[in-house]
A and B are shown apart, each in its own frame.
Chain A
């Protein structure tokens, strides 16, 4: 029952052979070897597998791969510039220590990316609302919220 589908990942058009029951996460990790996308729970609870599909954050662990056909997927790997320059969120997570063990970080950053794309200057409440689906066991979220606030500042400076 192998099917061949096409979609865009981090700007590159890819064609992959998949089984219908596979999830987007499985294809990203096992076929495309984008290991930055993490599996934490496998049932849409922890957010470690968050990627953007056409700009919207989703849990790739429960996203049927055949729905990805023709879509634009963005993963943490796609945030790095062609010259290896860091995205403001990546810079901010290092600067403000929003990363500890790092397992939740890629998903967390992708949720934050979706937030900042829609709302460049979010309040603390809006940030907490946006990352509610990304569990972190290390930080207690305080430094993560600060990191996202700092990224918003960096982004606004960049665009000036």
Chain B
């Protein structure tokens, strides 16, 4: 069957964005809202001797001044190696030392200038190799559990071993070895980071966040609340987000600080980074130093590969330290290499700490592997494109990571590239400019990074025949709202313009692991397929009950109006069988006779009979179909939540539609 909407180009649904109506974090103002600002250490490694906030507290318009000394000593972050506000010492240029909430941004900034911090500078380490030396000063004296640390190496070893390196080395005709460096890269989202924290009267935190992992953010915030002794839980609301590129995976330190300020002041508090602050205080890509040794036999077939990688972890730990999990795929599975050793070590330094940034480590790994492949090809005297073909993965192989490759047209792809680049004539034959080739593999579509890779979808069809999709996902510009609409229309049999989406509220939306890791369209698509199957079945069952009645009435109406009208013969048994009916583009029809106009009924006529025939007794919302989707992807069970009935709004007549919670 050919698709009606999927695979076709439809306009983006971003009407609010092109008209300036989209509400980003920058645009949200709440009654009684205060503005939070953070004082950074601006020195890489120092003991805090004292913090004097007395002048700042006296400034008119200041509502709270927080430091590590008047806030709970609670650890946050991926492995809990920092507190929101630092008390004893600072370990990086951007360490948060104090925070202020005031009636406007200018007052908050003025207050920061009045805070006096006395430091005693310590020797700082900027190089991970220096940090690994025996006599290197310790960045962290104790681990998150309070046990003394002996060195600056993170207890997070990454290791993958397969085959026998020494055997591979012995079989090699050519071997190359080199060391490669990659540096920090900032996500530089056009919208800077920011959040609003607000406590309700039951001590629940309403957390307006730019996260693309709303339920992860909720989880981390809930734990933080518990740890500081607040009994409420967190509701995450996400507005439009001005880009992510990995920067919105983790819950950032400023967000915990914002919650502390909101708790202290009992007012909504907004922290919004300036552009300068965004560069200074948000975690970029993780730098790496990799030593690669690999060999091939005289025919160019890879014999072994050994990669030792050092990651500059910076002063604290976020998701950046887990990027070797993705690098591992590139290193083990981009080419067929039987004997493999990969080891990655994360090292604390006094540099800025890092987290996810586009590709989650893969750009670093690909850069390293592809450079080394070029070197080895040159050493072996083999054309670099041919060399890649010799080692390209083939279908039905298993890689050292035990990933099963089922389809893999890598060889064909390289051939195509060869033709299109005019490789024979251009490679190495021009002065000063030329062509090169590199290959790339990436995880995606549910990388099994988490225990569950689930995505919840709730579908709700109202009596107007419109479909509302409630999803736990987020959109940071990738276009998931458009593709959800395409997929849902295709799968249910409605039109894209009949589909509206509600997202961005953990109180209403079903659980979702997060919109990242190139998984969203794929996983959501599968959830939609399952939910749509259910919804469609329910609609067709209802249709089977009412089709005959609706069509019969229509025939009588026509006969009444036109005495010459010849009523068609109708097989009412067919109409009463859900298996004989189908729904497409918002109309129910008989499968065996789709062109017969007499037998096509718009969906609302099927869904509305009750509002005609029965007295309306507070049942306006019927029929409303709910499907809660236990979505699975390889790991089995997913989760869902109980749907909350939201009042249906009139549909506008043109492209619009994503509804976010009122901010």
* Chain A interface (Cβ < 8 Å from any Cβ of B): 29, 34-43, 46, 48, 75-77, 79-80, 86, 89-91, 93-95, 97, 99-106, 109, 135-138
Contacts and interface: CB of A to CB of B under 8 A. Distances in A.
A109 B14 CA distance: 14
Contact of A36 (B12, B21, B244, B274): B21
A138 B190 CA distance: 9
Contacts of A79: 19
B520 to A, nearest CB: 14
A70 B18 CA distance: 27
Contact of A101 (B15, B20, B191): B191
B24 A38 contact: yes
A137 B477 CA distance: 10
B11 interface: yes
9 contacts: A35-B27, A36-B21, A40-B192, A94-B14, A94-B15, A100-B243, A101-B477, A135-B190, A137-B243
B24 A103 contact: yes
B17 interface: yes
B549 interface: no
A28 to B, nearest CB: 11
Interface in B626-659: 655
A138 B13 CA distance: 16
B20 A48 contact: no
Nearest to B187: A137
Contacts of B363: none
Contact of B23 (A34, A35, A77): A35
Nearest to A46: B190
Q: Which of the listed residues A77, A99, A103 has the most CB atoms from chain B within 10 Å of its own CB?
A: A103
A87 B15 CA distance: 12
A138 B243 contact: yes
A138 B15 CA distance: 17
B159 to A, nearest CB: 35
B163 interface: no
A106 to B, nearest CB: 5
B19 A101 contact: no
Given A43-B275, A103-B243, A137-B189, A93 B18 contact: yes
B524 to A, nearest CB: 17
Interface of B: 11-24, 26-27, 187-192, 240-245, 274-275, 476-479, 655
A135 B244 CA distance: 15
Given A100-B477, A101-B191, A101-B477, A39 B26 contact: yes
A94 B656 CA distance: 11
A35 B26 CA distance: 9
A108 B12 CA distance: 17
Contact of B245 (A37, A40, A137): A137
Nearest to B12: A94
Contacts of B478: 100
A35 B25 CA distance: 11
A90 B190 contact: no
Nearest to B240: A102
B188 A36 contact: no
A94 B26 contact: no
A106 B20 contact: yes
B17 A99 contact: yes
Contacts of A101: 189-191, 240-244, 476-477
B413 to A, nearest CB: 21
A99 B190 contact: no
A75 B20 contact: yes
Nearest to A135: B190
Given A100-B477, A102-B242, A135-B190, A90 B11 contact: no
A34 B21 CA distance: 9
Contacts of A41: 275
Contact of A103 (B12, B191, B274, B275): B191
A135 B190 CA distance: 8
Given A46-B190, A75-B20, A38 B26 contact: yes
A77 B20 CA distance: 6
Contact of B12 (A37, A43, A89, A97): A97
B18 A99 contact: yes
Given A75-B20, A79-B19, A100-B477, A48 B190 contact: yes
A94 B18 contact: yes
Contacts of B275: 40-43, 46
A102 B14 contact: yes
A106 B24 CA distance: 13
Q: Which of B13, B242, B274 has the most CB of A within 10 A?
A: B242
Given A35-B23, A99-B12, A101-B477, 5 more contacts: A38-B191, A77-B19, A95-B11, A101-B244, A106-B18
Nearest to A45: B275
A149 B244 CA distance: 28
A109 B479 CA distance: 19
Contacts of B22: 102
A37 B26 CA distance: 10
A145 B190 CA distance: 18
A136 B190 contact: yes
A45 to B, nearest CB: 8
Contacts of A138: 190, 243, 477
